[in-house]
Amino acid sequence: MTERMIPAGDAQLCAEAFGSPDDPAILLIGGAAASMDYWEDEFCERIAAAGRYVIRYDFRDTGRSTAYPAGAPGYTGADLVTDALAVLDGYGLPAAHLYGISMGGGIAQQLGVEHPSRVLTLTLQSTSPAGPGGPDRPDLPPMSPQLAELFASEAPQPDWSDRDTAIEAMIDGLRPFDGTIAPDLPHERAVATRMYDRTTDVAASQTNHWILEGGELDRGKLSEITAPTLVLHGTADPLLPLPHGEALAREIPGARLVALPGMGHQYPPRAVWDTVVTEVVAHTS
């Protein structure tokens, strides 16, 4: 594994690959405010061992990619969409299989609509056809009351420059998104520590993605997606309950839904790795 820096407009994106470049490529597109470290080494290695060339990368403002001032991102949501194409270009790939989680799932949907020639298949996890439900989306259930209260609160931000404080805050921030699978706290601490130590500006990483403008996909365009699509969704997702995944699978032609028991709104916990790896490898065959 060797990290490389890839130009994307005015930014540099840090990326890393697992496996042989002769194998079919899978680009992993993560969730908001998360570096590529949350696509864990062992998870990537298991997919690569099945004959896939697995590529992960840091979004702008995460990991070793270009950082902007906290509260003032010099880019839009649309730039995050085209950044994924820049990563493919950096590896000389005309097209790849895309696997996106949460915000990354939204990016993957947009690529499937706007750049179909670059997309071999889509795997969409913990995402939605339209974002959190509410009065304007009565067909999609809202987030849990606990999460709604959290998002509405104005709790002060931790001191992101203090390593121990920031790592604990990142770990604590995962809890409201848990499902019923018990968290592995020592393991989560190791991942959060690695993310902290690799990230140029942690305050920016925990702030800027949440205030981006642009890049949203018109829900009505999902019917235009032609790439074979696999939808993975936790049965205990408190942010985007399972009906969001069911709606996504209905609205993308030919999409197939696999429900992951007990998983919340999170990167795949180890308890579901066997299922997820098997499904992704089969889907990208």
Query: Residue 41's Cα: distance from chain center in Å?
Result: 15
How far is CA 85 from each of CA 13, 22, 28, 112, 189, rounded to the nearest angstrom? 11, 19, 12, 12, 31
Between 211-215, 259-263, 271-275, 276-280, the lowest mean confidence (pLDDT) is in 211-215
Q: What is the pTM of this model?
A: 0.97
Give residue 120's region: left, alpha or beta (phi > 0; psi -120 to 50).
alpha
Q: At 177, which CATH number?
A: 3.40.50.1820
Number of domains, the chain: 1
Nearest to 196 by CA among 227, 212, 173, 224: 173
What is the span of the domain harbouring residue 260?
4-283
List residues with catalytic annotation.
102, 237, 265
Number of other CB atoms surrounding residue 170 within 10 Å:
23
Q: Cα(33)–Cα(60) distance, rounded to whole angstroms?
A: 9
Q: List pLDDT tens digits, range 168-206.
A: 999 999 999 999 999 999 999 999 999 999 999 999 999
Q: List pLDDT tens digits, range 219-256.
A: 999 999 999 999 999 999 999 999 999 999 999 999 99
